[in-house]
Chains A and B, each alone.
Chain A
Amino acid sequence: MTSRAIIFSKLGDYGYIAIGGAICIALLFGLVFIHGGYLVTVLQLAMIYGIFCVGLNFFMGYTGQASFGQNAFAAIGGYGTAIFCVQYNWEPILALLVSMGIAGIAALVVGYPTLRLRGHYLAMATFALGLITYDISVQWTSLTQGYMGYSGIPPLGIGPFTVEDERMKLLCLIAVVLFGLWISYRLRASRFGRALRAISTSEPGAAALGIRVSHYKLAAFIIAALYASAAGSLFAHVVGFISPEVFGLQMVVVTFTMLYVGGIGTVLGPAIGAIIASLLPEVFRSTGRFQDIAYAAVLLLLLIFMPKGLSALADIGRSRAPRPRAEG
C-alpha cells in the first residue's frame, strides 16, 4: 500500500474535495496571518460566530429544533464578562466560566417549560426570549449601562499574560473553535449524539426506544447556550466593547445564514459557514453599493444548489454503494 492510499483509507468518507477545502482554509488563514490588518479582525469575528454556530448546531442541527433566541445566551456571556471584568476586576477566564454557568442555568430554567413546544411555536417562544433579553439589556441601565454598553473590557489572559496582539487573538480563537469542534465531533458519534439525531427525524421512534425526548432536547439547548455564552464572552474580550445591538436580531439572522450555508447537522458545517459568510461581504466590498445585493445573491445560489450546505461537497465523491469494510 502506498502512503497516499493509507492516508485516504484513513480519511474514510472524506474525499479529495474535503482535503482541498482544508488546504484552502489553511492557506486563507496563513495569508491573512501574514498580511495582517483588517482581514484579521474579520476572521476573529468569524471564529467567534463559529463558536456560537457550533453550539447552535447541537440544538438546531443534531436535534432538529428551532431556536431564534440563542442570542440571549450570547448576551449573558458578553454582559457577564463585561460586568465581572470591568466592575469587579475578575480574571477573564473566571468571568467566562461563571458567565457560562449562568447561561447554562438560564437555559435550564427557560428551556424546561419552553421545550414542550414544537415547530413554529417553539420558534416563536425562543424568538421572544431573544427580544426580552435585548429589552433587559437596554432598560436595566444600572446593570447594563443601557445603549451605552460597556467599553474598556480587558483583553483575554491569565494572570500577567494577556493576549493583546491581533494575530495572537486570532490564534486563540482558532484554538477555541477547534476545541468546540472536537467536542461536537465526539458527541455526535456517541450514545448521546445518536439520541439527539434520532429525535430530529422521529420523536415517536426515539421515545419508543426508551429515549427520554424532553431531557435530550433540554441537554442540547443547554449545550448550545454554553457555546453561545462563551462566544459572547470572547466577543467582549476581543473587541473590548459591547452594547445591546451586538446581541440583537442581526446576530440571529447572521448565525442562521452561517448554519445553513455551511451545512446544518454536520460537524464542520457551522465553522465553514461562519468563515464563508463572514468573508463574502468582504469579497464584494469593491462592488460598493451592490455589496449587499451580491452577498444575498450568492447566499441564495448556495442554498438553492447546495441545500445541504458547503460541507456536503465532501460527499460528492462518496459512493452510495456499500463500502468494503476496513480491516482491523
Chain B
Amino acid sequence: MALLKVRGLTKRFDGLQANSEIDLEIPEGSLFGVIGPNGAGKTTFFNMISGFQQPTAGTIEFAGTDITNMRQDKIAAMGLVRTFQLVQLFKDMSVAENVEVGFHLATKGGVAAAVARLAWFRRQEAEIHAKARELLDFVGLADQAEQDAELLPYGQQRLLEVARALAAQPRLLLLDEPAAGLNSHETDALAKIIQQVNGQGITVLLIEHDVALVTRIAQRIAVLDFGCKITEGTPDEIKRHPDVIAAYLGTDEAAHA
C-alpha cells in the first residue's frame, strides 16, 4: 500500500515552473530515492510534502489523509518528519538536548507540568534522557552528547539531525540531501544508518544529488529534471535510462553514449 501519494503536484513562482504535475507513490516500508541535477526542483518538492511551501496545484495524501496545505507541525504529528539540506540544528543546545527536543511529539506536558514536576513528568524526563542517549549511540555520537551542537563537525551535524528526526518517531522519514558536504567515509556511515532505519520498518524518502549513494541503497528511484518527473524505476533501470544520462551529462554526451 502506498504510504505517500502525490498527484499532479505543481509549484509556480511567478513565471518559473519549479515543479509541474509530479505524480509519485511511495510504498510503505520502502527506501525510495529522488534524484535530479541541481535546480531540478527536488527541494521544492520536498518542502511541499512537508508543509513548508504551499503547492500551486495538486494533492498530497499521507497514510490515507489529505495533507495538502496542512501546517508543518501537524504533518510532523502524523508521522511525516523531515531533515534539512542546510542543517537546522538548535545551536545553543547540547547534542543530547537537540535529540530531546525531537521527543516533543512523543511526550506531553506544558508549563504547569514543568513547574509541578510530578512523578510521571520526572519519569518522562528520565525516559527521554535515556532514549536520546540510545539514539546518539545509534548514529555514533554518544561521546559528544554533552557538547554544544554547534561545535560538531559538519558531517556529525547531519547525523545529529537524523537522530533528532528519529526521536519524533516517524512513519515516513524525509531526508533532504543528507550526504551533501560529507566525505566518502562519512557517506558510507550515513548509508549504513539509513539502511538500518529502513530495516526497522520506517519508510524513507531520500532526496539526493549524489546518484551513487541513491542507486546503492534505494529500492526505487524517481528522477526529476526541470521540475518534471522524467522517469521512475529500480536503480538498475535508472542507471541505464537514456533520459537520466542526458539529464546528468548533457544531451551531447548522451548521444555518444
Contact = CB atoms under 8 A, between A and B. Distances in A.
B136 to A, nearest CB: 11
Contacts of A201: 89-93
B111 A223 contact: yes
A209 B89 contact: no
Contacts of A211: 73, 101, 104
A5 B107 CA distance: 36
B113 interface: yes
A80 interface: no
Contacts of A213: 73
B114 interface: yes
Interface in B32-55: 50, 52
A208 B50 contact: yes
Contacts of A231: none
Interface stretch (B8-16, B76-84, B220-228): B76-84
Interface string B203-215: 0000000000000
Contacts of B115: 183, 186-187
A320 B145 CA distance: 11
Contacts of B125: 190
Contact of B111 (A204, A209, A219): A219
Interface centre among B52, B146, B151, B165 (most CB of A within 10 A): B146
B92 A197 contact: yes
Nearest to A211: B104
Contact of A210 (B73, B89, B90): B73
A288 interface: no
Interface in A192-234: 192-195, 197-198, 200-202, 204-213, 219, 223
A101 to B, nearest CB: 15
A197 B144 contact: no
A127 to B, nearest CB: 25
Given A194-B97, A322-B145, A202 B114 contact: no
Interface in A29-69: none
A154 interface: no
A4 interface: no
B142 to A, nearest CB: 9
Most buried by B among A205, A210, A223, A320: A210
A297 to B, nearest CB: 29
B165 to A, nearest CB: 7
A210 B143 contact: no
Given A183-B115, A193-B114, A205 B109 contact: no
Contacts of B101: 194-195, 197-198, 206, 209, 211
A265 interface: yes
A162 B201 CA distance: 66
B110 interface: yes
B100 A207 contact: no
Nearest to B50: A208
26 contacts: A183-B115, A186-B114, A186-B117, A187-B111, A191-B104, A191-B113, A191-B114, A194-B104, A197-B92, A197-B97, A197-B101, A201-B93, A202-B91, A204-B84, A207-B73, A207-B76, A208-B76, A208-B82, A209-B102, A209-B105, A211-B104, A213-B73, A219-B110, A320-B147, A322-B143, A322-B146
Interface of A: 183, 186-187, 190-195, 197-198, 200-202, 204-213, 219, 223, 265, 320, 322-323
